[in-house]
């Protein structure tokens, strides 16, 4: 059972691997906030800095009604406001940065310079600071100044060209793969830099390009495209990207679909037995992967004919028991109710102070036998202003004046 705390995040959590690390977080929307969410759930003290209007995502959710994305990505963070476009606000932010181990930002290249928050200015007040950035393309190269968002990076990276059916329109991936790939790579680079600083004293500046972070995930497709044997389709629907395995597809059921793979001949034997089709298992043309691949349309149609007779969950149970790799195509309410994700504590129902009852995720970065960190739901804009700014020496009078002036 995962404990859920009603307290705002404490500045010290002694039992997690990043405890004692202070992070100033200027990021917005998805890529940067996912990175700092993982840091916060690993015990870092993440101070999310918003301008007094609040992050755009708060308002987008207010329109949509759910608040779910903001709540998902901003748990366990301290929340402060400061208008760092004004000189006094920038000075206050600098005082905070002077106390930090890590600064994280995901503005377009050049914006931090325009704000007077470029790496040199910031490291002048804090030479040990790890200054971490992510953007569409990184800080150099012909595309550096282009605006980038998940969809445009999916287009440029080849993700769209390789998704969809061969005779259909290419389509983006449903998950925001570009944003989240950048976010987890940024976490990886920051922690690598923290380790390097611990070992050598030197503070590196991690810099993640969304475009670069997606490339290697296309290795099956790139291999097929380069195999040179024949013209390969750039999209293979739900079939194997290299069209070199069969069965490998998504098949119809009475109430949806199920994904089934036979990556070797034993799986094929088990599948045909479980579906009550020994005739297929005994068919000499289909005994080997090569044979099944050569008769892919026939195999797929025969398997589909059998799966179409049953429900997806019954098939999942039947084929799993038989040792055939498979998985029902789950819609989102089913995913949120998944017994595995509930069992491990990855998902839990939280009574969120602003948004009511929500299903919220913990971190996938787990260590065997170690308890999950206490979960602290995201809070209202500026929830930790008093705690944080006071700790930097801002007294009550000054605090009132800054609030009055719209600086915090």
Is residue 155 within the footprint of a copy of itself (CB under 8 A)? yes
The SS3 call for residue 90 is helix
Q: Which of 110, 175, 278, 305 binds a copy of itself (CB under 8 A)?
A: 175
The SS3 call for residue 62 is helix
Q: Is residue 167 annotated as part of the catalytic site, yes or no?
A: no
Is residue 208 within the footprint of a copy of itself (CB under 8 A)? yes
Q: From CA 364, how far away is CA 16, in angstroms rounded?
A: 14
Other Cβ atoms closer than 10 A to 383: 19
Q: Which of 8, 28, 123, 172 binds a copy of itself (CB under 8 A)?
A: 172
Contact code string over 57-76 relative to a copy of itself, x by CB under 8 A: ---xx-xxxxxxx--xx---
- Which among 217, 186, 208, 153 is positioned nearest to 37, based on CA atoms? 186
CA dihedral 198, 199, 200, 204 (to 10 degrees): -60
Is residue 26 within the footprint of a copy of itself (CB under 8 A)? no
The span of 32-40, 85-93, 294-302, 303-311 binding a copy of itself (CB under 8 A) equals 32-40
Counting residues that bind a copy of itself (by CB under 8 A) gives 144
CB of 309 to a copy of itself, least distance (A): 19
Is residue 41 within the footprint of a copy of itself (CB under 8 A)? no
| Nearer CB in complex with a copy of itself: 365/381 | 365
Is residue 373 within the footprint of a copy of itself (CB under 8 A)? no
| Active-site choice (150, 179, 374, 384) | 179
Q: From CA 70, how far away is CA 73, in angstroms rounded?
A: 5
| Nearer CB in complex with a copy of itself: 96/203 | 203
| Nearer CB in complex with a copy of itself: 234/387 | 234
Is residue 205 within the footprint of a copy of itself (CB under 8 A)? yes
Give 215's DSSP letter: G
- Which among 342, 366, 347 is positioned nearest to 358, based on CA atoms? 347
- Which among 332, 334, 268 is positioned nearest to 303, based on CA atoms? 268
Is residue 107 within the footprint of a copy of itself (CB under 8 A)? no
Q: How far is CA 302 from CA 170, 271, 290, in A?
A: 27, 12, 17
CB of 250 to a copy of itself, least distance (A): 7
Active-site residue numbers? 179
């Amino acid at each position: 059972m995962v404990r859920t705390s009603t307290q705002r995040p404490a500045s010290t959590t002694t039992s997690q691997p990043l405890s004692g690390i202070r992070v100033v977080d200027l990021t917005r929307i998805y890529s940067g906030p996912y990175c700092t969410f993982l840091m916060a759930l690993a015990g870092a003290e993440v101070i999310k800095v918003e301008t007094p209007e609040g992050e755009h995502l708060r308002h987008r959710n207010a329109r949509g009604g759910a608040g779910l994305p903001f709540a998902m990505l901003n748990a366990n963070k301290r929340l402060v406001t400061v208008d760092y476009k004004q000189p006094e606000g920038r000075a206050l932010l600098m005082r905070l940065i002077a106390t930090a181990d890590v600064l994280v930002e995901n503005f377009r290249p050049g914006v931090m310079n325009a704000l007077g928050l470029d790496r040199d200015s910031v490291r002048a007040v804090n030479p040990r600071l790890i200054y971490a950035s992510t953007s569409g393309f990184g800080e150099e190269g012909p595309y550096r100044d282009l605006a980038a968002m998940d969809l445009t990076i999916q287009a440029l990276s080849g993700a769209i060209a390789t998704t969809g059916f061969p005779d259909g329109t290419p389509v983006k991936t449903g998950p925001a793969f570009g944003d989240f790939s950048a976010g987890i790579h940024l976490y990886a680079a920051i922690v690598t830099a923290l380790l390097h600083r611990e070992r050598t004293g030197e503070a590196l500046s991690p810099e993640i390009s969304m475009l670069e972070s997606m490339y290697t995930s296309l290795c099956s497709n790139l291999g097929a495209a380069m195999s040179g044997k024949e013209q390969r389709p750039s999209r293979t629907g739900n079939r194997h990207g290299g069209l070199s395995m069969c069965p490998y597809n998504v098949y119809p059921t009475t109430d949806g679909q199920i994904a089934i793979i036979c990556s070797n001949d034993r799986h094929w034997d088990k599948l045909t037995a479980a579906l009550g089709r020994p005739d297929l298992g005994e068919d000499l043309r289909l005994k080997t992967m090569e044979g099944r691949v050569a008769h892919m349309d026939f195999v797929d149609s025969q398997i589909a004919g059998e799966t179409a007779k049953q429900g997806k969950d019954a098939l999942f149970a039947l084929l799993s028991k038989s040792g055939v790799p498979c998985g029902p195509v789950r819609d989102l309410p089913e995913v949120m109710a998944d017994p595995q994700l509930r069992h491990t504590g990855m998902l839990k129902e939280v009574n969120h102070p602003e948004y009511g009852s929500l299903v919220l995720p913990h971190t996938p970065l787990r260590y065997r036998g170690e308890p999950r960190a206490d979960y602290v739901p995201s809070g209202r804009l500026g929830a930790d202003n008093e705690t944080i700014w006071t700790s930097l020496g801002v007294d009550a009078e000054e605090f009132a004046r800054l609030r009055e002036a719209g600086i915090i």
